[in-house]
A and B are shown apart, each in its own frame.
Chain A
Amino acid sequence: MRTKRLRLVMSAVLVGALAAGCSGGGQEETPQETGPVELTFWTWAPNMDKIAAVWNAEHPDIKVTVSKQAGGDEAAAKFLTAAKAGNAPDLVQAEYQMLPSFVAAEAVADIKTEVEGVRAQFSDGIWNLVTLGTDGVYGLPQDSGPMMFYYRTDLFTKYGIAVPKTWDEYAAAARTVHAKDKTVYLGGFSSKDPGWFAGLSQQAGGKWWSITGEAWKVGINDDATKKVADFWGGLAKDGVVDTQAPWTPEWNAALNGGKILSWASAVWAPGVLTSNAPDGKGKWAIAPLPQWSAGENYSGFWGGSSIAIAEGSKHKKAAAQFASWLNTDAKALDLLIKEAAIYPAAKSGQALMTTAPEYFANQADFWQQATTIAGTARGFTFGPNVNVAYSAYKDAFDKALQNKSSFTDALGAMHDATVADMKKSGFTLAS
């Protein structure tokens, strides 16, 4: 009798355990959870763990654990792989251009209802980057990367050149400088930074992807972008701009040693200059990017990222609460600026930027200028296979630099590779 009852209990326990095991996903959505909700957060922003600690102290019911990631393509690949394997983190930092591929892979969730309250905090341009022009909301904007012109004030004086107002003036200055000293360049063309080229194309009015009705239109080799490619192709062919691979010790040395006099970069450049070109401290200044036509006033975006929530997350609501706090709460924005050196996407965050970066101590109005420039930046919709386009950019422009061949052809190769991939994958393309 006793053994029978024992066996009954045992089997009940076993069945219960099995049931729990099978229904793992559903079970945790019930509100009566014991203990705090545990969230994992993949990010490459420095000191994010410190910021999460502030959140954790104030919100004992939602505990966020930060896992520091490498940035760039690897981060995107890692997240997509993890999502496919079913063990993605709850929250992930996603560069704007990667969001469409995350959405297409069904790796990130539509959090429209969860983040309804914070829409007003962001400008339309930035908000478009997380909606992709659709009805959904696939992330919350964290930082943005409006582009501006960084230059060495002392060396501009030395070589007798003025800050170029137009790209024509830029080209003339590039020739002047290089003629005066063969080892010195006004600036460089990077075949390693497709995001940089995308930003310059945005400035020129290029639209690499756009949605018309229910179809994608790819315009990588549109007239605006061709203009940008031809411009740099001419300068590279004549050898008056630096074409070495950037981000190498060699490039750092050139940047630090005054061999490169300017850099068309984004608002996050002070961080790079501080660590890669420490000797230039106090010698650099910012100006708007040179324009394609005198009197115009445009910029583009290089980089910037959002915080997205994984489709597989079991705590989407809690994750959205944290993401909203992180990107809109005054205290969190202040921490993002101070601890993570981030240029916040939220309007209220940008207003908090008052003290110029230490590297630009000579330019007290650094952030006022940056904010003005940020207001002129225009972006475009990113497509679902940006990774293919970016990979093709590197290969095609690497080759063009090596063979001194046409940049227009390189751009064409990039366009064709992107379109071919979209066709093969079955996306509807506008003719």
Chain B
Amino acid sequence: MTKANRGARADRTGATPYLYLAPAVVLFTLFIAAPIGYTAYLSLRRVQFSGLGLGKKSRTEIFVGLDNYRTAVADGEFWAGWLRVLGYATLVLALMLGLALVFALLLDSARVRLARFSRIAIFLPYAVPGVVATLLWGFLYLPSLSPIHATLRAFGFDDVDLLSPSTVMFSMVNVAIWGGTGFNMLVLYTQLRAIPRDYYEAARIDGAGELAIALRVKVPILAPAIVLTTVFSIIATIQVFTEPMTLRPISNAVSSTWSPLMKVYRDAFVTGDLYSAAATSLVIAAMSVVPSLLFMRLVRRQAFGEER
């Protein structure tokens, strides 16, 4: 290697990578870092009124340090919200991903009929926006007009309230599963189609049936994709907002702080306290990162072991 050559390379490693990075850095700064920074700034402040708070200059914005965080963390309703979301997330993750895996494996098996139609039918709900899906299911949950209730009555279950405190969570889980299974199934299915067919050939020669192939060959190879869909789903379920928000007007069992994110919405836009909302949203962000990282750590060895 000549000296000139080495010089050229040093040059390249100097400016060029930064040039390539620049657009991403600029966009990140403008649309992610700056808003987070502003949120952090807001979270340290509060509006202070004086007297009746009606005349001019009776309203000042003051610095309050970590007060908003203290209030957020000390609020029992906030943790009750987390508890509800935990229950909701557990159900959604188990049922939705379980169903997605089963559907993907079924569609991938050689004997399935109408594969293309079934694939689209299962995926289609994902194309329905969350609000629309929830409204649609909401109508089905209301007793007098709903075929669900008609069916339940036919089997002798009168007076079933799908929007009561004990059932409304399952009603929401149902909407999430209906909407999310198709997407996760498609991710898993795509991964399945990428597996070389020779593996199955070899397994069959060894005497494995379809079920054994699915469990012993397909699922282990799918592990990284399963991890990916799980992480996405954890993040999505922690941020649950659309379903409870949309069901709230038709049910007496969904409070304005049903999920932590709803509390942020209420504080910011219903009661007009942007500062508490900013603090709470940063707490939620931190708390969403933790379970995702924990899960990644837990499964890294099993899922990505061979890559390291």
Contacts and interface: CB of A to CB of B under 8 A. Distances in A.
A427 B53 contact: yes
B270 interface: yes
B271 A388 contact: yes
B52 A427 contact: yes
Given A191-B252, A395-B257, A398-B255, A425 B53 contact: yes
Contacts of B139: 249
Interface in B226-275: 249-257, 266, 269-272, 274
Nearest to B272: A80
Contacts of B51: 214-215, 427-428
Instruction: Give the interface size class of chain B.
Output: 20 to 34
Contacts of A245: 249-252
Interface residues of A, number: 47
Interface stretch (A102-110, A261-269, A283-291, A335-343): A102-110
A32 interface: no
Interface stretch (B42-50, B193-201, B207-215, B278-286): B42-50
Contacts of B256: 391, 394-395
A250 B149 CA distance: 13
A165 interface: no
B296 to A, nearest CB: 36
Contacts of B255: 395, 398-399
B160 to A, nearest CB: 14
Interface in B47-85: 47-56, 58-59
Contacts of A249: 139, 142, 145
Interface string A209-253: 001001110000000000000000000000000011101111001
Interface in B157-191: 164-165
Contact of A401 (B142, B252, B270, B274): B252
A421 B252 contact: no
A428 B59 contact: no
A104 B53 contact: yes
Contacts of B254: 398
Interface in A361-420: 384-385, 387-388, 391, 394-395, 398-399, 401-403
B224 interface: no
Given A245-B249, A388-B271, A425 B142 contact: no
15 contacts: A74-B269, A80-B272, A106-B59, A134-B55, A192-B249, A215-B52, A245-B251, A249-B145, A250-B144, A254-B144, A384-B54, A391-B271, A395-B256, A395-B257, A427-B52
Interface of B: 47-56, 58-59, 139, 142-145, 164-165, 249-257, 266, 269-272, 274
Interface of A: 73-74, 77, 80-81, 84, 100-101, 103-106, 132, 134, 136, 191-192, 211, 214-216, 243-245, 247-250, 253-254, 384-385, 387-388, 391, 394-395, 398-399, 401-403, 421, 425-428
